[in-house]
Amino acid sequence: VKASNPLSFSLQAKMSRPVQARRLEGIEKNIWVEFVKLAATYSKVNLGQGFPDFPAPDFLTEAFTRALGEGSHMLHQYTRGFGHPPLVKVLAQFFEKLLGRDLDPMTNVMVTVGAYQALFCCFQALVDEGDEVIIIEPFFDCYEPMVKMAGGTPVFVPLRPNPPKDGKSMSSADWQLDPAELASKFSERTKAIVLNSPNNPLGKVFSRGELGLIAELCVKHDVLCISDEVYEWLVYDGKQHIRIASLQGMWDRTVIVGSAGKTFSVTGWKVGWVVGPNRLLQHLRTVHQNSVYHCATIAQEAVAQGFQRELMLYGKPESYFVQLPKELQQKRDWLVQSLDGVGMKPVIPEGTYFLVADISQFKSDVPDVPNSDEPYDYRFAKWMVKNKGLAAIPLSAFYSEAHKNNYTNFIRFCFAKEEATLKAANDILQKWKQEKTS
Ligand code: PMP
């Protein structure tokens, strides 16, 4: 008779215990895990995930190299937890200019590990069990799980597409909030609204009128605004990015979220920030100091130098914040042309480096999957990457479960890519067009 092993019993007993915290229930699935893997396996041209494949500006990479150099060995050590002093100082100076108000670098600015951690700090610091948070659809996907992890309830309100006038292409400006519907979402339970302008994935740049409406409702219902402005410099066709914090009654209730990843084309550096009133930021600091506490010093130093350069060149043609949108507008127009050719109707974005395109004319190309409730845009994006080698992201991934099925005729492309990458995408689309017509 084998002696029973007391160890195996105790191990088994341990493993039968539930390990997942309740706050993770229902948020395990993630679009990026699935689609990044698909793109890595099948794509020849990846216009899926949002990152530039062109180099970061020389002045920034040179600043990074200098920070690594002789005499700066302390930049390998911890710096101030709430933000490297040179970076918070220059961010304060920059935003003083943008917002037209005095800012204290130590209390009105905090540096975070990318805009992701900035958002995480906002929700953890400001949202309680039972609070409602209004999210405008389509939305950057992490807002919903972050609200839920904080114990809050997301309340969704969609931008509704209106048909374009005079047979023109649809623009992201044609996607609008219904004012009555928006107003109906505000109640005494509403703690905050998340605004993302310019908006990922549509590229919509909210107009002064639209922002005024949101601001009015925030003031009326005493609601906070988490304003994700990571694409603030990426606006096209002479459009202007308006900061909701500059509207009457909004500074005191708004946290602005920003990202060096988007601003300087260095998404891998993961330097982000929040700007806002101390009465809000003091609570974000509590979350930050008890979670990550600190962000990489060298990356902060280099971003600080990048902002010092931009402050000097503010509004001048040499400014990166002037040059980058110019280059991206050209890339947007190339992609629009390529998509038009094959019959995917693009929604022309006013901002960001994303573009969504209507794929409703391709239903006969994509085989039905029996017994699958997968939306058409998911099936299309998977089919396209496997059969054409072109990666994009289904738009319905940017909607809540309840509204997903109303928006399954679009996919999102990222056009922050080298000319050669966009040309390769064009070649795929042209070949596809020939196959369709032959
Ligand atoms: N907000 C939006 C709207 C984004 O698109 C992204 C990145 N895709 C982020 C926040 C996160 O930015 P970061 O990489 O700086 O964490």
Task: Report pLDDT digits (tens) over 256-298.
Answer: 999 999 999 999 999 999 999 999 999 999 999 999 999 999 9
> Could you give the CA distance from residue 25 to residue 151 in angstroms, rounded to a whole number?
12
Domain identity same for 331 and 286: no
Residue 230 Cα to ligand 1 middle (Å):
6
Domain identity same for 136 and 224: yes
Domain identity same for 159 and 307: yes
Report, as an integer, the average pLDDT of 78-103. 98
User: What's residue 165's pLDDT?
Assistant: 80
Residue 352 Cα to ligand 1 middle (Å):
11
> Could you give the CA distance from residue 9 to residue 393 in angstroms, rounded to a whole number?
47
Residue 258 Cα to ligand 1 middle (Å):
8
15 pLDDT exceeds 80? no
Residues 6 or more apart from 389 whose CB is under 8 A from it?
A: 42, 43, 44, 45, 428
Residue 436 Cα to ligand 1 middle (Å):
37
Report whether 264 contacts 303 (CB < 8 A). Answer: yes
6 pLDDT exceeds 80? no
Which residue has a Cα nearest atom 5 of ligand 1?
200
Domain identity same for 211 and 342: no
Q: What is the pLDDT of residues 372-402, one digit of tens each?
A: 789 999 999 999 999 999 999 999 999 999 9
> Could you give the CA distance from residue 263 to residue 233 in angstroms, rounded to a whole number?
7
Residue 259 Cα to ligand 1 middle (Å):
7
CA dihedral 25, 392, 334, 229 (to 10 degrees): 10
**Omega into 198 within 30° of 0, i.e. cis?**
yes
Residue 266 Cα to ligand 1 middle (Å):
12
Domain identity same for 87 and 101: yes
User: What's residue 216's pLDDT?
Assistant: 98
Domain identity same for 68 and 153: yes
Average pLDDT value over all residues in the chain: 94
Q: Which residue has the higher pLDDT, 294 or 28?
A: 294
User: What's residue 271's pLDDT?
Assistant: 98
Predicted TM-score (pTM) above 0.75? yes
User: What's residue 71's pLDDT?
Assistant: 80
Q: Among 30, 116, 353, 355, which is best to mutate for testing ligand 1, by the most ligand atoms less than 8 A from CB?
A: 116
User: What's residue 181's pLDDT?
Assistant: 98
Residue 366 Cα to ligand 1 middle (Å):
31
> Could you give the CA distance from residue 171 to residue 54 in angstroms, rounded to a whole number?
26
Name the band, by pLDDT with cuts 50, 70 and 90, for residue 367.
confident
Q: Which of 297, 313, 329 is the last residue of a domain?
A: 313
Residue 118 Cα to ligand 1 middle (Å):
10
Q: Among 229, 255, 259, which is best to mutate for testing ligand 1, by the most ligand atoms less than 8 A from CB?
A: 259
User: What's residue 369's pLDDT?
Assistant: 78
92 pLDDT exceeds 80? yes
Domain identity same for 129 and 258: yes
Which atom of ligand 1 approaches the CA of 199 most closely? 3
Q: Among 117, 202, 262, which is best to mutate for testing ligand 1, by the most ligand atoms less than 8 A from CB?
A: 262
Name the band, by pLDDT with cuts 50, 70 and 90, for residue 406.
very high
Ligand 1 is surrounded, with C-beta below 6 A, by 50, 114-116, 140, 196, 200, 228, 230, 259, 261, 267, 272
Total domain count for the chain?
Answer: 2
307 pLDDT exceeds 70? yes
Residue 115 Cα to ligand 1 middle (Å):
5
Is residue 7 in a domain? no
User: What's residue 381's pLDDT?
Assistant: 96
Residue 16 Cα to ligand 1 middle (Å):
38
Domain identity same for 188 and 248: yes
Report whether 229 contacts 241 (CB < 8 A). Answer: yes
Least confident range of 25-34, 152-161, 212-221, 222-231: 25-34
Q: What residue spans of 266-407 are helical by DSSP H?
A: 278-289, 297-312, 320-342, 376-387
User: What's residue 373's pLDDT?
Assistant: 84
> Could you give the CA distance from residue 225 to residue 195 in angstroms, rounded to a whole number?
7
Domain identity same for 48 and 78: no
Name the band, by pLDDT with cuts 50, 70 and 90, for residue 38.
very high
Residue 163 Cα to ligand 1 middle (Å):
29
Name the band, by pLDDT with cuts 50, 70 and 90, for residue 178.
very high
Is residue 10 in a domain? no
Find the CATH number of the domain harbouring 328.
Answer: 3.90.1150.10
3 pLDDT exceeds 60? no
26 pLDDT exceeds 90? no
Which residue has a Cα nearest atom 12 of ligand 1?
115
Pairing of strands 410-414, 354-358: antiparallel
- CA angle, corner 194, sides to 159 and 130, nearest 5? 110
C-alpha distances in Å from residue 321, one per residue of 197, 200, 228, 307, 325: 17, 19, 18, 10, 7
> Could you give the CA distance from residue 200 to residue 228 in angstroms, rounded to a whole number?
10
Which residue has a Cα nearest atom 8 of ligand 1?
50
390 lies in which domain range? Answer: 24-55+319-437
Q: Among 230, 295, 398, which is best to mutate for testing ligand 1, by the most ligand atoms less than 8 A from CB?
A: 230
Domain identity same for 293 and 207: yes
Which residue has a Cα nearest atom 10 of ligand 1?
115
Report whether 360 contacts 409 (CB < 8 A). Answer: yes
DSSP of 125-189, one letter per residue?
Answer: HH--TT-EEEEEES--TTHHHHHHHTT-EEEEEEPEE-PPSTTPPPBGGGEE--HHHHHHH--TT
Domain identity same for 261 and 360: no
Q: Among 140, 197, 257, which is best to mutate for testing ligand 1, by the most ligand atoms less than 8 A from CB?
A: 140
Find the CATH number of the domain harbouring 302.
Answer: 3.40.640.10
Domain identity same for 304 and 328: no
C-alpha distances in Å from residue 427, one per residue of 227, 315, 337, 338, 433: 38, 37, 12, 9, 10
